[in-house]
């Protein structure tokens, strides 16, 4: 049965969408200069209000640290603005003269922006800026636990936008918040696109609404410290990221994985920089208060400080403790603290080498963080590349904090508070979301070659690939292969091509040299098995453990 709040919330969603739609009809036709003036004004207003908004957010939600929320607000108001301010989002945004194509930007309409309680004001600032830059109207749906601070942020930005010339209604925010109202906002015919940040239930609701949606789920982020890493810096990056705003960012480190060769140094550095290693008994009590039976983080510990959480669990930690370090012993339902914890609780794992580290990180990602983020600390470029090629993560942060690297603060990634997880995590994109994701791009395309079917058929026939016909019998396989390679400037097969033909075959008299592959994953081996071909490997080929085992079983490797 619907409650009075549900009815109010549903009606408010409809009213605000109608108002936003009318405002968008005007805003969709403003010039680039007008858009840029409005976006700049909103950015400046949000920047000035950053500290006040941070205080209200912590006071209302009880999550995080005022100084860190202030920094998040500044990042959203200033860094995001600096990144997007030069983007062309009106009219012709790109010309491709060699292809005679013009690309034209059109706004999508009204954006339904769902805002979480963990990062409420910074996410609101970020989403409003990218919506306005792409000439869209936006209706915010706050998390009920952060309604007041999100409303205040929206009011600050709406006032600045209208004073700068934006139509009233281009920024709206729901005051009566309920699940029914949020669902109405996402499903309504006037909603064009959904920007959803929150738990998996919310993200699934966004994707099942029938509307285009950018939804991002949890990020069970592992940070791997390999033997060649700068241990002091690596540990500092992990602890700084994990303790930042008490671990409320979805890209904050959830597990530290290190090689056994450097375990002693890592443990000493963790303790020196404010990490407290919990005893097995303390770990068991933490499991009971930090993780719900549903294997989700308990809201009572989300965003709380390390000492506060320890006290709730019935033990004390030394002054200056930044992070509680636990050793779950494994990953999965039997190891509750291997989940995303959204607090300064860090799982700790030791592995034999980078091969085992690779598999451990994949297991952590598979348990609630598929497609999100991974950090690796290493000076070995081959191992870093192997991680980048093999891991189901959309952002692999190298020698930096995952927390700051994923959002584009300490890396060259697009500054963003909404981070796509790709098909790994059931998302439509693996990008950091920018204004360009909120545009329809039309393309003007001029003719580049006249249509002459007879001439095209003749050209294909001469190329010996006429549709429906077999290869010319007058030319041998050897001749056609040689011609193919010569046309591409190659004197040997490309990495991953088939092995030399068996002795006695027509082309075996002049075998084609084969180069060793630089890297082989399990997927490469499965593809080779399916296609009934061999994989050339050498002394310097990096082969993942699972690929090695499967390849040996099926005798898929040839040594070159």
Rounded Cα distance, 219 and 235, in Å: 20
Nearest to 48 by CA among 81, 20, 23: 81
Distant-in-sequence contacts of 431-437, Cβ < 8 A, 24+ apart:
431/394, 432/395, 432/406, 432/407, 432/408, 433/130, 433/195, 433/214, 434/83, 434/84, 434/87, 434/130, 435/84, 435/87, 435/89, 435/130, 435/131, 435/133, 435/134, 436/87, 436/89, 436/134, 437/130, 437/214
**Which two structure tokens, joined as six digits, stand for 163?**
């004073």
Q: What separation in angstroms does the CA of 295 have from each of 223, 308, 340, 368? A: 21, 21, 9, 10
Contact 264, 206 (CB under 8 A): no
Residues belonging to the active site? 250
What secondary structure does DSSP assign to 253-275, as a single string?
A: EEEEEEEGGGHHHHHHHHHHTTE
**Which two structure tokens, joined as six digits, stand for 484?**
């193919």
On the CB side of 492, how many CA atoms lie within 13 Å of its CA?
10
Rounded Cα distance, 65 and 55, in Å: 9
Q: What separation in angstroms does the CA of 400 have from each of 340, 411, 522? A: 20, 8, 28
Torsion of CA 383, 384, 389, 390, to 10 degrees: 60
Q: Both ends of the chain: CA-CA distance in Å?
A: 70
Nearest to 513 by CA among 495, 531, 532: 495
């Amino acid at each position: 049965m619907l409650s009075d709040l549900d009815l109010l919330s549903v009606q408010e969603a409809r009213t605000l969408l109608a108002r936003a739609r009318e405002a968008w009809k005007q805003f969709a036709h403003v010039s680039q200069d007008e858009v840029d003036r409005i976006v700049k004004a909103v950015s400046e207003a949000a920047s000035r209000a950053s500290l006040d908004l941070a205080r209200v957010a912590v006071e209302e939600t009880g999550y995080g640290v005022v100084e860190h929320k202030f920094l998040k607000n500044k990042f959203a108001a200033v860094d995001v603005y600096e990144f997007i301010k030069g983007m062309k989002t009106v009219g012709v945004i790109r010309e491709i003269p060699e292809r005679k194509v013009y690309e034209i930007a059109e706004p999508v309409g009204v954006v339904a922006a769902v805002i979480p309680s963990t990062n409420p004001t910074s996410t609101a600032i970020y989403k409003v800026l990218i919506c306005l830059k792409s000439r869209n109207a936006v209706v915010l749906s706050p998390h009920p636990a952060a309604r007041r601070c999100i409303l205040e942020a929206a009011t600050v930005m709406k006032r600045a936008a209208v004073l700068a010339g934006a139509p009233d209604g281009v920024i709206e925010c729901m005051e009566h918040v309920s699940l029914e109202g949020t669902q109405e906002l996402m499903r309504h015919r006037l909603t064009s696109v959904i920007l959803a940040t929150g738990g998996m239930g919310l993200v699934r609701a966004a994707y099942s609404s029938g509307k285009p949606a950018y939804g991002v789920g949890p990020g069970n982020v592992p940070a791997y410290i390999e033997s060649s890493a700068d241990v002091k810096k690596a540990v500092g990056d992990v602890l700084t990221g994990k303790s930042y705003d008490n671990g409320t960012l979805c890209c904050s480190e959830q597990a530290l994985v290190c090689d056994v060769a450097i375990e002693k140094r890592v443990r000493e550095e963790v303790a020196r920089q404010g990490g407290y290693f919990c005893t097995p008994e303390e770990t068991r009590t933490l499991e009971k208060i930090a993780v719900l039976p549903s294997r989700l983080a308990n809201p009572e510990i989300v965003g709380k400080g390390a000492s506060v959480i320890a006290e709730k669990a019935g033990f004390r930690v030394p002054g200056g403790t930044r992070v509680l370090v636990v050793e779950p012993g494994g990953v999965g339902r039997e190891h509750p603290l291997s989940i995303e914890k959204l607090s300064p609780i860090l799982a700790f794992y030791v592995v034999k080498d980078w091969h085992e580290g690779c598999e451990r990180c994949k297991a952590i990602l598979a348990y609630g963080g598929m497609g999100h983020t991974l950090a690796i600390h290493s000076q070995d470029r081959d191992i870093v590349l192997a991680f980048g090629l093999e891991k189901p993560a959309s952002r692999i942060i190298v020698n930096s904090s995952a927390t700051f690297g994923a959002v584009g603060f300490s890396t060259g990634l697009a500054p963003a508070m909404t981070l796509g997880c790709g098909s790994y995590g059931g998302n439509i994109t693996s990008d950091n979301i920018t204004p360009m994701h909120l545009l329809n791009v039309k393309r003007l395309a001029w003719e580049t070659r006249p249509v002459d079917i007879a001439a095209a058929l003749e050209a294909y026939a001469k190329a010996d690939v006429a549709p429906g016909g077999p290869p010319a019998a007058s030319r041998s396989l050897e001749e056609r292969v040689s011609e193919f390679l010569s046309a591409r400037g190659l004197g040997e097969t490309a990495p991953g091509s088939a092995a030399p033909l068996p002795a006695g075959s027509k082309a075996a008299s002049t075998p084609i040299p084969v180069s060793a592959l630089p890297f082989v994953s399990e997927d490469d081996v499965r593809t080779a098995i399916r296609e009934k071909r061999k994989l050339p490997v050498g002394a310097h080929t990096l082969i993942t453990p699972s690929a090695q085992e499967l390849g040996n079983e099926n005798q898929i490797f040839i040594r070159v």
